[in-house]
A and B are shown apart, each in its own frame.
Chain A
Amino acid sequence: MGEMNYSLFFIDTFLLERTLVYIVIMQFFRRGSLQVEIIKDITMIEGIFVEGLIYGIMVLGVFITFRILDFPDLTVDGSFPLGAAIMATMIISGYNVFFALAAAFMGGIAAGVVTAVIHNRLKVPNLLAGILTMTMLWSVNIRIMGNRANLPLLKNETILTDIVSWTEGIIPSDYTILIFFFFVAMAIKFSLDLFFRTDMGLTLGALGNNEQMVISQGVNINVMKAIGVGLSNGLVAVSGAFAAQYQGFADVGLGTGIVVTGLASVMIGEFIFTSNKIVVLTFRVIIGSIIYKAIMYLGRYYGYHIGLTPNDLKLLAGLLIIACLMIAQGKKRNYFRRWKNDQA
């Protein structure tokens, strides 16, 4: 029962707030500047949740390809900045913000469909198909942003500035953004839950598990893969579009390592609880994303005690995945042993 020990470790990180309060008190004794530290930590917790929710939309996309479709899709590294680029360019050109968001979503879908078609038509392994699209998207993204690698959005009206101006004087702006992203992430999560209960959604679920079974039902699996990978990248692009608005710029390098972020978040989520209910699966994806962001924030703010710099965060992300894989493998081995005992 290795499961228990490991989940205890993650419950610890789950009780993040308590840890933070402890750290704050420790620093108060050390430096005597309680007020500054508390303000810093509250904005930090708010930042963790907002970023966790924004990136959670992307992680839902990664979850669809990696876990449901069993189609390791690296297009994500390109479709995330694609969403950001489309959003930023259209905002600056004066389009309606919601129209721009829809366009980002469609752009992401198109990128995913390109990957699926390369994979289906040319019989290229899915990893390679994703890398091809991702590489091409680098140039496409720079084109979209008008041959620039970076587009600042600081003086433009975005969805976020709109929302904040609507609730001005009622709720502090930081909380408005937090509440807004909570509802956006939940709306997307529940639409996905609904989608995966439809006949098409169920078939997508079976596709990652047993292609032969889906073929036997008279379903064209190439079309199904295009739908699944398209939907996934659409979500990733929406996530990128929100990330650009939250950070105040779109950058062509925004997507580097997004797959790793997504995968690590999915894996962290899987340690929280096991279930076969899609409602629970999508929920733990978002929780996983928030925990991942928390770990990264901890690494960024408190890592200097052990000599970590922000440049080490990618290494941290990779090590996190390796740790998750090792734990998961240990679990599987235990499970297999139990299964064998049952047979005997």
Chain B
Amino acid sequence: MKIGILLKEGPYNHQASDSAYKFAEAAIKKGHTVDAVFLYNDGVSNVTKLMDPPQDDRNIAARWDALHKQHGVEILACIAASKRRGISDEVLIEGASITGLGTLTDIAIRNDRLITFGD
């Protein structure tokens, strides 16, 4: 199955980001294709490389970066939501890019499922 993910919460404060990642990881392991993770609302804060959590904690941005590099999952932040929250190309991890809501529409159309993670 081809799956798109919509993530609507920021890192750490809500579990949604962890759940989305765990879901993507499990789906890939089962042989499904995870096409893209689209970040909306505070979700855009998942991909700032300025993130620097304590060493014994997971680095959520680095984890999304690895998901892109290892499995080709597109990690996309909504431009309108990013602009509100100070997320720009300068602070983005390598594996992510900024795009418009038209891309989310396309993700919704081209995948078998769009799974939303948020509160």
A, B from the same assembly: no
